[in-house]
């Protein structure tokens, strides 16, 4: 891969997709639900995924595509070059707010993240990361994460993980909420990951994310020193849904040891 | 009061204050804590409040000022004209994120909200409301809130209200989290109120807010039909800290009846 050439190509592609999404605000959007009534999908999620796939197939033959809306390939292994795409991450925000959603894209080669992109479409903020080449917001380099402590941390997580649930000891999460400086929930995994990478959040945790939600953000976050794993401390899953944590290196281990406990 | 002239004056004042805050990003900010380690205040909170007070005293003699940082007047009643000001609402976001905070200002006459302002400083979005004159974002009129239902609602609230606490039956809040489409926590009461007014959230609830947190936003939110009360359903308190809810009129009553129960 010529990372430099691909990076230029992808930035242009993402900006073009963002333009299409912003234009869609002027027309009616069709909303359906998927796995449950609150799992929304719109015509724009589908159209933007198809737009990406058409370009990738035309200009990068041999690359595979793993997309949220399922128009890409059936991915069963991480061999070769794979584009992991969420055309609109935070569809609920897209529908209800017309802001605070993102295009999320990661390019992986044999399971290794090479390029990562998170585009905050409405704010026109493009975060990107290049493996061993740094992380950026609008081409300005992001600084390595500074030392911090649980008591001074802002942690992003959805309220559903702090109430009784099947998977996680919510009492430990309640203790986390008491011990940190504050919690936030912005409603887009990709943007919350971009906020970890830019030091605005010190951690982001979720019980259930898909590879396309985190693939782009992981490349970006790792370049500033963030640690990204599942709740067992293993590398995040690139093939199927799993738990996920991205955190400042000073608190990652402590979060897993003290606050995140499976039932 | 000549509302039209005051509105012009205040918009210019707020934009000038916003400019000072954005400039402060280039220099070091001094951070202290107030009532507890997580109740932050910076030199900018104080300087911006003093900037407002100086102008108000010079140009509006006889008006009183009720400000978060305490440089204004000792307010014991709602007589006459009072400016209720939070110079930086969401100080934790200001410190950690350098975004997602707001200037919040309400002008009340004998306890009646006449003018309200919320300025999202970094996004340069100025929300304002004029009693019986409509609500606006960047001078574009906000539409009346549309009919909705609990099951399709996005509710903004801090995670601390969903865990065991002294005041509220958190089991009912847990049920609320289960019944709504989604919850969010953005970390600035004023911005969350602006989001209710613009239909991006359907409700915002908090156990503990001060008059300056909500004074501006209430004028704006009421102009699009939102209902703003404390948890008893009484008008929000303009003199001291209290519970607070702002909600779409279709769900306000149901939220109070079914989900918000004092211990």
Whether the CB of A37 is below 8 Å from some CB of chain B: the reply is yes
Residue after which a domain boundary falls, among A141, A159, A189: A141
Q: What is the pLDDT of residue B38?
A: 85
Residues B7 and B58 in one domain: yes
Domain match, A11 and A126 both = yes
How many domains does chain A divide into? 2
Domain boundary residue, one of B141, B161, B177: B141
Residue B188 above 90 pLDDT?
A: yes
Q: Which residue has the tokens 């990076």?
A: A7
Please tell me whether residues B25 and B118 are part of one structural domain.
Answer: yes
Looking at the structure, do residues A72 and A18 belong to the same domain, yes or no? Answer: yes
If asked whether residues A117 and A58 sit together in one domain, one would say yes
Residue B262's pLDDT is what?
A: 87
Residue-by-residue DSSP string for A30-76: -EEESSSTT-EEEHHHHHHHHHHHHHHHHHSTT-EEEETTS-S----
Is A195 at the interface with chain B, CB within 8 A? Answer: yes
What is the per-residue pLDDT for B263?
A: 82
Say if B97 is an interface residue toward chain A (CB within 8 Å). Answer: yes
Q: Is B112 on the interface with A (CB under 8 A)?
A: no
Chain A contacts of B181, Cβ < 8 Å? 37-38, 92
Judged by CB atoms closer than 8 Å, whether chains meet at A183 and B158 is answered as: yes
- B31 with B156, same domain: the answer is no
Domain of B174, in residue numbers: 150-259
pLDDT in tens, B53-96: 999 999 999 999 999 999 999 999 999 999 999 999 999 999 99
Say yes or no: B172 contacts chain A, CB-CB below 8 A.
no
Same domain, B9 and B113: yes
Q: Which residue of A has its CA nearest to B170?
A: A163
Gap from B263 CA to chain A (nearest CA, Å)? 18
Report the CATH number that the domain containing residue B28 is assigned in CATH.
3.30.540.10
- Report chain B residues whose CB lies below 8 A from the CB of A158: 183
Q: How far is B222 from chain A (nearest CA, A)?
A: 19
In chain B the beta strands, taken as DSSP E runs, fall at 31-33, 40-42, 64-67, 81-89, 102-109, 112-120, 125-130, 134-137, 140-141, 154-156, 182-184, 203-209, 227-229, 242-247
- How far B36 CA lies from chain A's nearest CA (Å)? 10
Q: Which of A148, A159, A166, A177 should one mutate to test binding to chain B, selecting the residue with the greatest count of B CBs within 10 A?
A: A159
Same domain membership, residue B157 and residue B110: no
Query: Residues A115, A162: one domain?
Result: no
Q: Chain A: residue nearest B188 by CA?
A: A184
pLDDT-based confidence at B28, cuts 50/70/90? confident
ipTM entry:
0.95
A181 and A254 share one domain: yes
Model confidence at B167: pLDDT above 90: no
pLDDT along chain A (263 residues), means of 10: 94 98 92 88 96 98 96 97 98 97 98 98 98 98 97 96 90 96 98 98 96 98 98 96 97 97 86
Q: In the prediction, which pLDDT does B195 show? A: 98
Shared domain check, A74 and A35: yes
Mean of pLDDT over chain B = 96
A and B: number of Cβ contacts within 8 A: 71
Residues of B in contact with A199 (CB under 8 A): 96
* C-alpha–C-alpha distance, residues B141 and B133, integer Å: 10
Q: What is the pLDDT of residue B37?
A: 84
What CATH number should be reported for the domain holding residue B173?
Answer: 3.40.190.80
Does residue B194 surpass a pLDDT of 90? yes
- Domain co-membership, B130 together with B9: yes
Angle made by CA atoms B199, A42, A213, in degrees to the nearest 5: 95
Q: Which of A113, A141, A169 is the last residue of a domain?
A: A141
pLDDT in the model for residue B166: 87
Residue B12, C-beta contacts closer than 8 angstroms, at least 6 positions apart: none
């Amino acid at each position: 891969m010529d990372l430099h050439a691909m990076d230029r190509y992808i930035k242009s592609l993402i900006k073009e997709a963002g333009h299409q999404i912003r234009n869609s605000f002027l027309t009616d959007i069709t909303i359906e639900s998927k796995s449950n009534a609150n799992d929304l999908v719109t015509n724009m999620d589908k159209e933007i995924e198809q737009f990406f796939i058409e370009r990738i197939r035309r200009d990068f033959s041999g690359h595979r595509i793993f997309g949220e809306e399922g128009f890409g390939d059936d991915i069963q292994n991480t061999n070769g070059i794979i584009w992991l795409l969420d055309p609109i991450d935070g569809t609920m925000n897209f529908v209800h707010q017309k802001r605070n959603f993102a295009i999320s894209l990661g390019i992986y080669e044999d399971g290794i993240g090479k390029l990562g992109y998170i585009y905050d479409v409405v704010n026109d903020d493009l975060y990107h990361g290049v493996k061993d080449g740094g992380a950026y917001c609008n081409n300005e380099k992001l600084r390595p994460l500074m030392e911090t402590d649980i008591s001074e941390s802002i942690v992003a997580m959805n309220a559903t993980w702090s109430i009784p649930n099947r998977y996680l000891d919510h009492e430990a999460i309640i203790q986390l909420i008491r011990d940190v400086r504050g919690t936030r929930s912005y409603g887009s995994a990709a943007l919350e990951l971009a906020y970890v990478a830019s030091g605005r959040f010190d951690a982001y945790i979720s019980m259930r994310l898909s590879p396309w939600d985190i693939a782009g953000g992981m490349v970006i976050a790792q370049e500033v020193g963030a640690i990204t794993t599942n709740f067992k401390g293993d590398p995040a899953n690139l093939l199927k849904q799993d738990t996920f944590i991205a955190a400042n290196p000073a608190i990652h281990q402590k979060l897993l040891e003290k606050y995140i406990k499976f039932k």
